Structure 1
Amino acid sequence: MFTGIIESVGKVTSMQPTGGDIRLTIESSELDFSDVKLGDSIASNGICLTVVEIGDKSYSVDVSRETIARTALETLKPGDIVNLEKAMLPTTRFGGHIVAGHVDGVGRVSKLQQDARSIYIEIEIPKELAHYTATKGSITVDGISLTTNLVRDSVVCLNIIPHTAQVTNIAKHWLVGSKVNIEVDIVARYLERLLNKSQAGDINAPSPQSQITEAFLADNGFMK
């Protein structure tokens, strides 16, 4: 599990095809490798990947065809900058939101312009993910925990402050047309599952009536 607060950026140094999969190597002079060991998870552009090799200032991961198909990883090339976050500890300050590192889909940067000192960005996300987003809600883009200014159909509008732009790959890598990894708020997914019991398995199987209703959520301040 992660928080979406990027610890450092890294550079892709190798993308080695291996038996239909990819062995990806990333180096970073900024990431603290002192507590990284084989089998640990590092979110790389928001993708939870398992460390299989460790170098002095680098690590390698194996990426399956499933992950390649569901993420923007196939657009990466050696030299590209990626966002890095090690898995959180029980003592970690929770500065972002709950991030699983399981990418839900690929979005596309459709607008990018300066807005005073911040950067205004619009990202088109897959239509099937749009209902999991909300104005002033949380979304993970390339592993970064961000707050949505506005959601318009399947377009998410964001304002990126200078600090976030500089310590992530946004200022160095995002352009209009760039593909980015999207993970929606996991809380929204669980709420949907509670509200729609047909998604819990066999739709014909009897199940107890859920006490979580739209009226209950509204009465308790979860909906406006």
Structure 2
Amino acid sequence: MFTGIIESIGKVVSLEKNGSNISFWIASPISGELKIDQSVSHEGVCLTVDQLASGQHRVTAIEETLKKTNLSHWQSDTVVNLERCMLMNGRLDGHIVQGHVDCTATCIERKELSGSWEFRFQIPESYAHLIIEKGSISVNGTSLTCFDITHNSFKVAIIPYTFEHTSIQEVKEDTVVNIEFDILGKYIERMRQMRK
């Protein structure tokens, strides 16, 4: 369980293909503090640390994960958001994020304003019912507020701190990002469907 408040950014150092799986070596300021078998959110994807080295850690994505996320787009030097599991002894600054990506979205607009940025992302229409105006959404693991929603897209506004300290700075038009919709909204939608 995560909060969507990014703890650090890391960089992909190298990739190893093992059958249909891909292992990624990540270098980051928190890699040295991690433990093997620890769950860490990478761009919003919950992955298990399976090896450690000096200032680096390794995670492996299976074929199913590669199909449903943007991990298949990762290359050496790709910047990734990192967040360790939340501690149950403090404030929840973002929103409840599971690290289970629902779909990917494509950036269709990036606009720099005076002191902030706006991004518009296009999602599959089949997921449109899971977002609401001013609701929470996770984009590459970052807890954000969506607005200006259409039948297949939404916008997010980014403050300077978030821009400087997350991988959103790397997102341009046509960049594919990981999306996780609000878990509470998903449960409500499921209950609504079951009443039909």
Fold match by TM threshold 0.5: yes
Name 1:187's counterpart in structure 2.
184
Name 1:202's counterpart in structure 2.
none
> Which AA in structure 2 matches 1:52?
D
Once the two structures are TM-superposed, the CA of residue 62 in structure 1 deviates from its matched residue by: 1.3
The match for 1:40 among 31, 38, 41 is: 38
Higher strand fraction: Structure 1 or Structure 2?
Answer: 2
Name 1:128's counterpart in structure 2.
126
Once the two structures are TM-superposed, the CA of residue 32 in structure 1 deviates from its matched residue by: 6.3
For 1:180-212, what per-residue CA distance to the aligned partner results, in whole angstroms no more than 9, with x for missing partners? 00000011110011122179xxxxxxxxxxxxx
Name 1:72's counterpart in structure 2.
70
Do the aligned partners of 1:134 and 1:150 also contact (CA within 8 Å) in 2?
no
The match for 1:116 among 114, 117, 137 is: 114
* Larger relative contact order (Cα-Cα within 8 Å, sequence gap ≥ 6): 2
Q: Does 1:165 align with 2:163?
A: yes
> Which AA in structure 2 matches 1:53?
Q
**Residues 64/95 of structure 1: CA separation in 2 closer, same or farther (3 Å cut):** same
CA–CA distance in 2 between the matches of 1:75 and 1:185?
Answer: 24
Q: How do 1:128-167 residues align onto structure 2 when only pairs under 5 Å count? A: 128-167=126-165
CA–CA distance in 2 between the matches of 1:49 and 1:96?
Answer: 20
Once the two structures are TM-superposed, the CA of residue 179 in structure 1 deviates from its matched residue by: 0.3
Runs of 4+ in structure 1 over 6 Å off: none
Structure 2: gaps spanning 5 or more residues: none
Once the two structures are TM-superposed, the CA of residue 54 in structure 1 deviates from its matched residue by: 1.4
What SS does structure 2 have at the residue aligned with 1:116? coil
CA–CA distance in 2 between the matches of 1:19 and 1:114?
Answer: 42
For 1:10-35, what per-residue CA distance to the aligned partner results, in whole angstroms no more than 9, with x for missing partners? 0001111012211111111x22643x
The match for 2:53 among 52, 55, 58 is: 55
Once the two structures are TM-superposed, the CA of residue 154 in structure 1 deviates from its matched residue by: 1.2
Do the aligned partners of 1:42 and 1:86 also contact (CA within 8 Å) in 2?
yes
> Which AA in structure 1 matches 2:11?
K
CA–CA distance in 1 between the matches of 2:121 and 2:19?
Answer: 34
CA–CA distance in 1 between the matches of 2:90 and 2:51?
Answer: 25
What SS does structure 1 have at the residue aligned with 2:12? strand
CA–CA distance in 1 between the matches of 2:142 and 2:155?
Answer: 14
Once the two structures are TM-superposed, the CA of residue 140 in structure 1 deviates from its matched residue by: 0.3
Once the two structures are TM-superposed, the CA of residue 149 in structure 1 deviates from its matched residue by: 2.3
> Which AA in structure 2 matches 1:157?
K
For 1:36-69, what per-residue CA distance to the aligned partner results, in whole angstroms no more than 9, with x for missing partners? 2111101000000001001221110111000000
Do the aligned partners of 2:31 and 2:57 also contact (CA within 8 Å) in 1?
no
Once the two structures are TM-superposed, the CA of residue 90 in structure 1 deviates from its matched residue by: 1.1
Q: How do 1:189-204 residues align onto structure 2 when only pairs under 5 Å count? A: 189-197=186-194
What SS does structure 1 have at the residue aligned with 2:164? helix
Q: Structure 1 vs Structure 2: percent identity of aligned residues?
A: 37
CA–CA distance in 2 between the matches of 1:33 and 1:186?
Answer: 31
What RMSD in Å do the two structures reach over aligned CA positions? 1.3
Name 1:98's counterpart in structure 2.
96
CA–CA distance in 2 between the matches of 1:95 and 1:56?
Answer: 31
CA–CA distance in 2 between the matches of 1:87 and 1:122?
Answer: 28
What SS does structure 2 have at the residue aligned with 1:129? helix
Structure 1: gaps spanning 5 or more residues: 200-224
